[in-house]
Amino acid sequence: MSRRYFGTDGIRGRVGSAPITPNLVLTLGYAAGTVLARRGAGQERPVVIVGKDTRISGYMIESALEAGLSAAGVDVILLGPMPTPAVAYLVRALRLQAGVMISASHNPYDDNGIKFFSADGMKLPDSVELEIEALLDQPWSCRESAELGHVRRMNDAAGRYIEFCKSTFPSNLDLKGLKLVVDCAHGATYHIAPLVFHELGAEVIAIGNTPNGLNINDHCGATHVDALCHAVKEKQAHLGIALDGDGDRLVMVDSEGQSYDGDQLLYAVVKHRQRQPGFAGGVVGTVMTNLAVEKAFERRRIPFARAKVGDRYVLEMMLERGWLWGGESSGHLICRDKHTTGDGIISALQVLAALVSQGVSLPNYIAEVKLYPQRLINVRVAAPVDLTAAQGVQQVVVAAEQDLAGRGRVLLRASGTEPLIRVMVEGEDSVQVDRWAEALATAVTELAG
């Protein structure tokens, strides 16, 4: 059965347009509640937690989702603004049936989305998502009054999650003496991230921590680090930490204002882990992971594999191989020895643990990783296009690969969250990389009309 609503990261879209409308969200809540009740037949009434980021549309979506779940006979615990990884943690810690996060992650405020976590704190399996989809176009009616789900709010959710984050940092270390600038992207970590780093001893300067419903990810956070770079240099901080709107991405900035992406930070974490007793296994990146990072892992004799873009695919490959570490260039890092999903705060703590324990700066710690020039161009499309059947595009691909001659890579792929074709060229020569990226983007644009 093909997917109609669920993408690589739940259901996402522009608020007010299908599928992010009150009616469809209400139906989604009922469908999800029905599937959960069916799977838990014979057990107590299912209980689901619901978190959200700081978008103004979160209120509307939360209410519709809550009503649908309650109509299906599912009890609901509302968390209010909470990071996505907090929902993944709390559903597991509280032994509940599922968790729901209302967020469009790094997208602008006028987008929103809904993603589900299973009882083990991981994304719902494809089979369950398809079960939910199958009910979305079916007629439905709510349960009898006595069977409706109860709804309550959890007032200590933030405190529970803060303590969990702190528990992932070595107990024999602290952050005393470090000045950190923390950019919360006016998102779900605004009332959590600064406290985590402060309570571990750091001097914290928080920015992007005054959400108003409309400013989430607006020229701030992990997707726009210029403000953080400026603040780090102005405040003479040691490091900057940038999170995205729902708190599952991480980018860091050093004292000179140089930023470090997910590839480099993943290398820092795994390099430190290799020093620990019992280290085993390998690392999962994606088709977008910089070739220099793969070669750096090879030099350390650490196995490396590439998954499709999307943290769910990274995690799937990690589970298949029994590996504990993986991530994406965008800043989704998964440390499976600490959490079941990508977590920007916890990932930052793992990098900081490496630096503090070794007494080194971030640029010195990963100095051996010299990233290859990489050019990414997003081409907007009105409808899906078949790149493999496009002769003009494929001719340019072949010419580019021949010119790169094994010293670089070409990648064309459709975005899983936006109507875009992503054109990526990577190689040793930046001029050569730019030339072929432009040529490929032009060919794809012509194909897309």
Residue type, 377: I
Instruction: Determine contact, residues 102/50, Cβ cutoff 8 Å.
Output: yes
CA-nearest of 410, 444, 412, 402 to 426 is: 410
Give Rg (Cα) of the chain: 22
Instruction: Determine contact, residues 129/5, Cβ cutoff 8 Å.
Output: no
Q: Is 405 left (phi over 0), alpha (psi -120 to 50) or beta?
A: left
Q: Which of 57, 103, 105, 330 is catalytic?
A: 105
Instruction: Determine contact, residues 75/160, Cβ cutoff 8 Å.
Output: no
Token digits of residue 326? 């993986």
- Whether 105 is catalytic is yes
Instruction: Determine contact, residues 187/207, Cβ cutoff 8 Å.
Output: no
> Distance between CA atoms of 137 and 154, rounded to whole angstroms?
32
Which residue numbers are catalytic? 105
